[in-house]
């Protein structure tokens, strides 16, 4: 079993403790090594600096990276350079989407409570949800593993402008919102929801653990 590296100094939170041999909190990029997986947790908005935009009206971050942004970006950069898999949860997913070359939608609505998502193998499961920003992976190489069907009605980007979505963001005429994405160029599993908020036996947690095991811990 591998080591789970994280910038947060705490014991391994449920449900990830069953997947790894050791949990190692660190802010030092050189600590990230070949037998490990990097985990970046949820939290406040990342700076739009990472996707070449200025903050919009509803963005809770400055146009320059904060201390946490810089620390986690440095850890992610080290993992990418060493070909080490990364797991991003909510804010972590958004930062890693940006570091993979994608963008972040600066403001969406209707994601303050649990909602159904659909997986690419046909499952419909209840996901935790607590965010107002969202990954925008459509311009870069990615694999979409799960999505929600037009949960939001507001999609704002830089200068508070409504975003336009490419054709691939629609299925059967319905806009889909990315919930779980794999970025192969950075070996990143990006999970928009919070599996750590839900019971271990819930389908969303079990699905997240399946993907982590298959993509990051094999």
Q: What is the pLDDT of residues 17-39, one digit of tens each?
A: 878 888 889 999 999 988 899 99
Answer whether the bond into residue 15 is a cis peptide, omega within 30°.
Answer: yes
Quote the CA–CA distance of 59 and 132 in Å, as a whole number: 9
pLDDT at 186 over 70: yes
Give the pLDDT of residue 10.
64
Q: Range with the lowest mean pLDDT among 15-29, 78-92, 145-159?
A: 15-29
Q: Furthest-apart CA pair in the chain: how many Å?
A: 47
Sequence-separated (6 or more) residues with CB below 8 Å from residue 31: 5, 24
The model's pLDDT over 105-142, given as tens digits with 9 standing for 90+, comes to: 999 999 998 999 999 999 999 999 999 999 999 999 99
pLDDT band at 8 (very low <50, low <70, confident <90, very high): confident
Quote the CA–CA distance of 171 and 177 in Å, as a whole number: 11
* pTM for this model (two decimals): 0.95
Quote the CA–CA distance of 188 and 101 in Å, as a whole number: 12
pLDDT at 94 over 80: yes
Give the pLDDT of residue 217.
85
Using CA atoms, how far residue 75 sits from 86, 153, 154, 176, in Å, is: 10, 34, 32, 31
Quote the CA–CA distance of 144 and 152 in Å, as a whole number: 18
Give the pLDDT of residue 12.
61
Phi and psi angles of residue 179, each rounded to the nearest 5 degrees, phi first: -115, -40
Q: Range with the lowest mean pLDDT among 77-81, 102-106, 132-136, 171-175?
A: 171-175
- Domains of the chain and any CATH numbers: 3-216 (3.40.50.880)
- Average per-residue pLDDT for the chain: 93
């Amino acid at each position: 079993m591998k080591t789970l590296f994280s910038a947060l100094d705490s014991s391994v939170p449920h449900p990830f403790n069953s997947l790894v041999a050791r949990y190692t909190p660190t802010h030092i990029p050189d600590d990230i090594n070949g037998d490990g997986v990097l985990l970046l947790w949820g939290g406040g908005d990342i700076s739009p600096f990472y996707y070449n935009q200025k903050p919009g009206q509803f963005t809770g971050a400055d146009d320059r990276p904060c201390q946490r942004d810089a620390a986690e970006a440095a850890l992610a950069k080290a993992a990418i350079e060493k070909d080490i898999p990364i797991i991003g949860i909510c804010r972590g997913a958004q930062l890693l989407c940006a570091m993979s070359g994608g963008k972040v939608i600066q403001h969406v609505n209707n994601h303050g409570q649990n909602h159904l998502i659909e997986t690419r193998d046909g499952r419909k499961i209840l996901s935790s949800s607590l965010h107002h920003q969202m990954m925008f992976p459509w311009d870069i190489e990615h694999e979409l593993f799960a999505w929600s069907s037009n949960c939001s009605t507001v999609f704002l980007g830089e200068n508070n402008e409504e975003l336009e979505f490419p054709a691939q963001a629609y299925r059967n005429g319905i806009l889909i919102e990315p919930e779980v994405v794999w970025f192969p160029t950075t070996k990143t599993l990006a999970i928009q929801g919070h599996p750590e908020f839900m019971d271990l036996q819930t389908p969303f947690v079990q699905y997240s653990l399946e993907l982590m095991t298959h993509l990051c811990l094999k």
